[in-house]
Structure 1
Amino acid sequence: MKKLLLTALLLPGLAFAEDITIQNLMRAESDTMFRLSMKQNNIGIGELFHEREVASANAPQTVIRPNQDTLYSAAIADLSKPVTVTLPQGDKRFQSVLVISQDHYNFAYASPGSYELTEDEVGTRFAMLLFRTFVDAGDPDDAARAHAVQDGIVVEGGGKGPFEAPDWDLETLAAARKAVNDLAAAVGLESSTSFGRRGEIDPLGHLIGMAGWAGQPARMAEGIVDSVDLNDGETPHVVKVRDVPVDAFWSITVYDADGFLAPNELNRNSYNNTSATPNDDGSFTIHFGACEDGRINCIPITAEWSYTIRLYQPREEILDGSWTFPAIVPAD
């Protein structure tokens, strides 16, 4: 199975745009994402924004293959002065911060505590701080607890900006983005070679990582994107899994032909090891399609559906390939 994460953000071109080359492509993409985050979330440099709901099929989706497992918080930091990020003790739920440079190198922390970030360490003056906080989206009480953990995040220090970057040629950037997405679809995207610190990943993997902008280093999360052969939207499928070797959580999310969450009568597009009902032996059976008979843990499907499996804080047996997630197969 190939690992692939795609981002869909097509923006109109700007006058007097800065030319894009292979040398500055990653910088142009990251600068564009930083600007978009500040605009969409109405935040300035150093200001923290919290999303209080997970992605939904019934709301606009700006990013391909959104997850429904974590709430996002974000800030754009000016590292001309050191920045301190604090993850709270919280209630032991998974929470992380991904530090993304303007050149799309990144690293992450997922333990409570304070972390100092400098321009020398990150490699660029500006960085995105992208926080993920686990939530059981189907449990209103858990959502309230997750919000409280989000509120415990602290970002202190840093410069005050303004954000300084060229006005990139967004028409060329969109064409380059599609080309990289096509390349990633053909050859696959591996977290271990695409996401990490400068010097830890190879140049080609780094380029392909543009197709999964803001993807996490492999030790923080593995993402598996694939489809089944009979993805006609009519043929039901199933997978049974147990003892997934992760220290945080795992999930399966279903998408439509364009990579988005599709509305359905069950209002269900995903399950994780918290929201799914386990079997008596502790394993989990996840069904895809034919949900009208009330089968357990069932996600409706559409024509040309695909899925993403997310493995948060995978253990060594996932990282070295000795354990793989079971295949999703046609139901009997």
Structure 2
Amino acid sequence: MNRRELLAFAGAMGLIPTARAFAAAGDLRGAAREAFIYCLPLIEMAAARDRMLNDHGDGQPAAINAFRPTRSLAGPKNRAITTPNNDTLYSSAWLDLTKGPVTLTIPPSGDRYVSVALLNMYSDNDAVLGTRTTGNGGGRYTIVGPGQPGSGANVVRCSTPHAWLLARILNDGPADLPAAHKVQDGFVLHGPAGVAPPAYATRKSSWQDYFASAQRLLISDPPPATDGVVLRRIAALGLKPGGGFDPGKLDAAAAREIEAGVAEALPSALRRSAPNVVQGWTYPRGDIGWFGQDYDFRAAVALGGLAALTPPEAMYLRPVSDSGPGATLNGDYRLSFAAGKLPPVNAFWSITMYEATPDGQFFLTENPLNRYSIGDRTAGLKTNADGSLDIWIGRTDPGGDRTANWLPAPAKGPFSISLRAYLAKSEMLDGRWRAPALVRA
């Protein structure tokens, strides 16, 4: 048995404190790195819940187990969630199932796309109800938490006691808002009054506060049994589903190892979760929205696209940079769709512009047209004589008829775009259709 194995064994047997043993063996740094990545979705979900329950600009806190609708499309001032779309109205509810199930009513929506995603606290889509899965006729569903009784076609199981319910209702612009609001008003929740959650640390907090909050979240929303291997690896920190993290038990050497591991965490996760790239576009992996044991990818999506749907519901494409690593752009571009080669969808498609923040998040940006996206419902788009469609993307107004097809970028700084395809057809899902490459204009 070598020194590293001996120290780890001694720690496990209680002969010396576990954290000190793993620090001496060189494993505490790796445990901290892996724990930061594993717990990031919990931290990001808790932070989103805190912002959305408490920061509405109207002085009125939102209630647990009740929908909070947004009555207008997202704009530059909406900063609660990274990478918002500008196509749908949202109705959002944070669930507390610890006192019993809640009942969800979805209204009939005619031919309007709707979806209701049930996200557990680890950011997986436990279920998506609506146009694709349950139809547009509406229905009534019972959402039950872990271990709660319930059976039947209309019972939906959530894998954590707390969850995020996010409804999306397609809107075709200002004139369509009254009709969209009518559908939105039909989304209703009934259930026990939930308990307002406490505040938690964020990813920018000290490692002591970050892991203390992660410990509380692991207790309130226990991880699945299928995460047992990673949980054993991060237990070196004292971080366990049943509790045990105590930074006061860690000496200076252990603290240095943890700080080093935390500093490596996000760069490591982003590097190891590299997506599939074709013609300069990143294509979503099959496990987006239901991540399994790919904790790096789960963390990367929690950071840059929290609440992402699964590919059958929505495909998300983002260009890679043509001037260095990353997904940000910095210039003027043309995107040309050949005649008959627009994104193949059964619902809708759009291209949305975002400013990129230094910490890897994306938000809508002010621009002279007040236009945040272009897509199949954008009025006034001009096609070429051969039926092709050019979209002009960047800071500079292309002028003339091209302005009608201009998606303005922020006046300065890096930016990115996202091509969304809701209910993509099979040729997009299986790769027969590919987005054309961006060309410098």
Taking the TM superposition and a 5 Å limit, the aligned residue runs for 1:171-190 are: 171=205, 172=207, 173=210, 179-180=265-266, 183-184=269-270, 187-189=273-275, 190=284
Report the Cα offset of residue 166 of structure 1.
7.3
- C-alpha distance after superposition, 1:130-185 (max 9, x if no partner): 11111123xx221121111111112122x322145674465045997995377437
Structure with more contact order per residue of length (Cα contacts < 8 Å, sep ≥ 6): 1
Report the Cα offset of residue 307 of structure 1.
1.0
Shift in CA distance, 141/185, structure 1 to aligned 2, threshold 3 Å: farther
- 8 A Cα contact 1:90 1:152, kept in partner: no
Shift in CA distance, 102/301, structure 1 to aligned 2, threshold 3 Å: closer
Counterpart-to-counterpart distance in 1, 2:437 and 2:79: 28
Shift in CA distance, 27/325, structure 1 to aligned 2, threshold 3 Å: same
1:322 equivalent to 2:432? Answer yes
Taking the TM superposition and a 5 Å limit, the aligned residue runs for 1:302-317 are: 302=410, 303=412, 304-317=414-427
Q: Which moved more, 1:172-181 or 1:22-31?
A: 172-181
Which residue of 288, 296, 299 corresponds with 1:207?
Answer: 299
Q: CA RMSD in A?
A: 3.1
Give identity over the alignment, percent: 30
Taking the TM superposition and a 5 Å limit, the aligned residue runs for 1:261-280 are: 261-276=364-379, 277=381, 279=383
1:294 equivalent to 2:401? Answer yes
TM-score computed with the length of structure 1 as normaliser: 0.79
The structure in which a higher percent of residues are helix is 2
Structure with bigger gyration radius: 2
Aligned to 1:252: 351
Shift in CA distance, 48/282, structure 1 to aligned 2, threshold 3 Å: farther
Report the Cα offset of residue 49 of structure 1.
0.8
1:31 equivalent to 2:46? Answer yes
Report the Cα offset of residue 299 of structure 1.
1.5
Counterpart-to-counterpart distance in 1, 2:399 and 2:81: 29
Shift in CA distance, 327/168, structure 1 to aligned 2, threshold 3 Å: same
Counterpart-to-counterpart distance in 2, 1:33 and 1:144: 28
Shift in CA distance, 327/45, structure 1 to aligned 2, threshold 3 Å: same
Counterpart-to-counterpart distance in 2, 1:195 and 1:213: 9
Aligned to 1:3: none
- C-alpha distance after superposition, 1:81-104 (max 9, x if no partner): 222222211232111111111222
Aligned to 2:183: 149
Q: Which moved more, 1:180-189 or 1:86-95?
A: 180-189
5+ residue gaps in structure 1? 1-19
One-letter amino acid of the counterpart of residue 162, structure 1: V
Aligned to 2:104: 85
Runs of 4+ in structure 1 off by over 6 angstroms are 174-178
1:115 equivalent to 2:141? Answer yes
- 8 A Cα contact 2:38 2:295, kept in partner: no
Counterpart-to-counterpart distance in 1, 2:378 and 2:123: 33
- 8 A Cα contact 1:70 1:134, kept in partner: yes
Aligned to 2:84: 66
Shift in CA distance, 21/262, structure 1 to aligned 2, threshold 3 Å: closer
- 8 A Cα contact 2:116 2:129, kept in partner: yes
TM-score computed with the length of structure 2 as normaliser: 0.61
